[in-house]
Structure 1
Amino acid sequence: MSAFHRVLLRPEVEEYLRTVFLNDKLVTAIGSQKAEEKYESLLNNLSHPPAFTTVRVNTHLASVEHVRSLLCEEIQKQYGSLSVPVLQHPQLPDVLLIPVIGPRKDLQKLTNEVIVGAQCGRAVLRGAHVYAPGIISASKFMKAGDLVSVYSDIEGQCKRGAKEFLGTKVFIGNGISELSRSEIFQSNGTLKGIGIKMIEPIYLSPSFDNLLASYLFLQNLPSSVVSHVLDPQPGDRILDMCAAPGGKTTHIATLMHDEGEVVALDKIADKVKRIKQNATLLKLKCIKTYCYDATKALSTSKREDDQEGPPFSPESFDRILLDAPCSGMGQRPNMAYTPSLKEVTSYQPLQRKLLRVAAHLLKPGGILVYSTCTITLSENEEQVAWILKTFPCLQLQPQVPCLGGEGMMGTGLSPEHLKWLQRFDPSEVTRQGMDFDSLHELNYEDLISLANKDCIGFFIAKFVKVYRE
């Protein structure tokens, strides 16, 4: 039986998503029953975390073997007598995988209850402790040091400071309170630090709070694939159009051995600051950051000779990554997805504006990689079809490494083109969770295969510019 219900969606969003996964071409190809099963599997799997915690090693500072050894020691400290392996991915040599154990069904629910927001709940399900600002409600007499059960308010209905909450809530584990109820809700200052230290999370994942911060970067597996597909080379000039928080930016810089130039854009100043912080933490010097709207990054007039930043002249970059703003419907765990249908469908025009700029900024012979963390056709396969029609100079390319499935039918792309796309699809996950017995029954190849499938929903397309426009 599932630990959580299927993801909650607004009715119009659920109907929209249903049309995606039950489109005519797909139903004709696999049958209506199989298509219906895929759709239900998707809704169930989105509410669960991926089967592995994925971290990328900063190979600019240390070898994978050295960091893996350090990480094994740290996880042993957290897990005590429990034995959980740290696996190196065979096709992504800088990626380490830690199996997630759960959902654990033997946890006892306690009298003292703490309610946290949905975002905090998602973080806990992926190994985080509860930080004080995430606490919405606590039992009347809760004191520091008390054992408490933690629940996530997935519908956002709990009022801050409530002593009891009878609405829809999902149990996510037990912890020890670091603060009393009065300290949480009667504080005059801004709350900081850990509010609940999780000791029995329903999904057992390692905590990475200040853990090997210069050596490791928490990054979903498909997000790590993207930079390898881009295949940056030392000396390249590369544009990361929507770069915050800088995970892919720093990965690109690492893969090119910090030799060349990575230009990172984001239009929100605080996010640009985060990119800079991550670059500094990982000791990468080839990254240049600019607070700038990437839809305006193409210069329409002659640039000054000494101008470094945006807007840029046409054909300025060897490679471009557009990890586009999207509806984010592939993120996991997501027990409730709150955006409206209008919000969900608002991204396609923005993505096309960005793609137009990218097509002009790319040099002939250059590589463009387009990616999203969503599962809709309109933001993924439809965008590929639009690019091929609008920009004949851009040709779709096969991808290396290729860990995901092929593209989804329903947009008129040829079978060959569908094979050259990568779609990481949560509807393909056939199991929910892993206990210690099943972990030790699976061999290395089975675990890697599970990691490639049981991850967030994601999409990648790769193009080469074959001639000047």
Structure 2
Amino acid sequence: MPIFHKISLRPEVENYLKQSFLNKEVVSASSKQEAERKFEALLIRLAHPPSFTTVRVNTHLASVEYVRDLLLEELQKQFRGLRVPVLQHPTLPDVLLIPVTGPRRNIERRQCEVIVGAQCGNAVLRGAHVYVPGIVSASKFMKAGDVISVYSDIKGKCKKGAKEFDGTKVFLGNGISELSRKDIFNGIPDLKGIGIRMTEPIYLSPSFDNVLPSYLFLQNLPSAVVAHVLNPQPGEKILDLCAAPGGKTTHIAALMQDQGEVIALDKVLNKVEKLKQNASLLGLHSIRAFCFDATKALKLGVIDGTEGTPPFLPESFDRILLDAPCSGMGQRPNMACTWTLKEVTSYQPLQRKLLNVAVRLLKPGGVLVYSTCTVTLAENEEQVAWALTTFPCLQLQPQEPQIGGEGMMGAGLAPEQLKLLQRFDPSVVPLQDMDTDCLSDAKKEDMIWLANKDCIGFFIAKFIKYKSTEEKVSWK
């Protein structure tokens, strides 16, 4: 029984997604009824968090075993002696999995309430405390030290500073206020610390606020798969086209043993600075990050004095990762998305511009990995079909590891091509209620299987460029 309703979407967006998931190829392969059931299951899963918290160990600085022991000690403190297993993924050796217990349905709701924004609420469901910038409303009598019930304003209707809110709100659990209402709304300007320390969350996930920051990187499981699929080798020159905040960039550098060159581009300056901070914190020196628009990363003429900085000459890189800007419709938990259909569908042209640049910058024999954190057909399988038609130099390649399912029908790809893709689809497993009794009885292989399936929605395609591209290719 789901604890939250399905993700709230604008009707035109839900209809757009439904048409994709009920396309002729899908319906003919199963039935309309089965396709509709699976689509509704997806919408419900998107509103709920995954069953596991995934962290990647920075193997450049420490062994997985050493970090796992440190993490077990930390969890014992956070969970006040409650024993929660930390599993090493058998296929992704640098990934650790922590099961999420919940939902806990018997938490007593308190009279004193805090309303947080939807984004803050999503973070709380993944183990975060409530930081002051995320607080929208607080009861008029709230004092520091009070036990507070925290709710998410999933539709963004609560007014900043309100003393009560009767609109649509979702209960996230209880916590202890670090500040009074006056401190939050009339106190120190630009206060950014913890406002509510969560003590009884609906879903019990570990907090990674400043926890082993040089050794661990909080990362969704499919995101950790991507760098392994790229398979970077020491000494290579690699480009991460849309890199911030640097989770995949730093993973690439670690897999290369920090030997070689990883060029990371992002067009938002503060995100690039955050990427540099992450690289420094993780002790990685092979990364060079630039604030640069990746659609302009191809050098079209001779430009003096720019050697080693963007833009780059054609066929300069051994491997390229294009973790493309996307609609993000696979992120979990996400109880409401207010985007218009125009916004959701705006990414396909940008992704094609980036693919054009990536293909031109890749050496013959080089590898290109394309990934998104969305579930739309247009941004995933349709882009693969377009790329194979537009760039005859590209061929799909098998992926290792292959943890997700095959690609979705509907883009005209052949069955053997779909098998070469990875689509992580959380609708393939029922929602799980997990408590400490379940964890003590569960087999490790069953938990790993669940972690592989009950994750965010994600997509990965791997190409090889088997011959040179000397003429400019149109990306219309």
Q: Which bin holds the TM-score, normalised by the shorter protein?
A: over 0.9
Offset of residue 239 of structure 1: 0.2
C-alpha distance after superposition, 1:75-126 (max 9, x if no partner): 0111123221000000000000000001111111111110000010001000
Q: In the alignment, which residue of structure 2 is the partner of 1:152?
A: 152
Equivalent in the alignment of 1:297? 297
Alignment deviations for residues 370-419 of structure 1 (CA, whole Å, 9 cap, x no partner): 00000000000000000100111010001000000000001110000000
Kept in 1, the 8 Å contact 2:130–2:198? The answer is yes
Partner SS, residue 140 of structure 2: coil
1:201 is the counterpart of 2:186: no
Aligned to 2:125: 125
Residue 5 of structure 2 aligns with which residue? Answer: 5
- Please give the TM-score of this superposition, normalised by the length of structure 2: 0.97
Report 1:236-251 matches (<5 A).
236-251=236-251
**Residue 302 (structure 1) shift:** 2.1
1:423 aligns with 2:423: yes
1:98 is aligned to 98
Deviation string, structure 1 residues 209-264 (Cα, Å, up to 9, x no partner): 11000000000000000000000000000000000000000000000000000000
CA distance in 2, matches of 1:189, 1:338: 29
Amino acid at match of 2:329: M
CA distance in 2, matches of 1:309, 1:199: 48
1:134 equivalent in structure 2: 134
Q: Name the structure 1 match of 2:252.
A: 252
Is the partner of 1:288 in helix, strand or coil? Answer: strand
Query: In angstroms, what is the RMSD of aligned CA positions?
Result: 0.9
Alignment of 1:51-450 (within 5 A): 51-304=51-304, 307-450=307-450
- Deviation of 1:304 after TM superposition, in Å, equals 3.4
Q: CA deviation at 1:305?
A: 6.7
Partner of 1:62: helix, strand, or coil?
A: coil
**Deviation (angstroms), 1:434:** 1.7
Secondary structure, counterpart of 1:152 in structure 2? strand
CA contact 2:298–2:357 (8 Å) conserved in 1:
yes
Confirm or deny: 8 A CA contact 1:394 1:463 kept in the other structure. Answer: yes
Q: Distance in 2 between matches of 1:266 and 1:433?
A: 39
Amino acid at match of 2:447: L
| Runs of 4+ off more than 4 Å | none
The aligned residue for residue 451 of structure 1 is: 451
SS at match of 2:44: helix
Partner-residue secondary structure (3-state), 1:200: strand
Equivalent residues of 2:214, 2:282 under 8 A apart: yes
CA–CA separation in structure 1 for the residues paired with 2:411 and 2:427: 19
Alignment: residue pair count: 469
Aligned equivalents of 1:331, 1:80: Cα separation in 2 = 30
Displacement after TM superposition at 1:436 (Å): 2.1
Read off the aligned partner of 1:116 and give its amino acid letter. Answer: V
Task: Name 2:474's counterpart in structure 1.
Answer: none
Instruction: Work out whether residues 223 and 248 of structure 2, in 8 Å CA contact, stay in contact via their aligned partners in 1.
Output: yes
Letter in 2 for 1:353: K
Kindly, what percent of the aligned residue pairs are identical? 71
Whether the aligned pair in 1 keeps the contact of 2:423 and 2:458 (CA below 8 Å) is yes
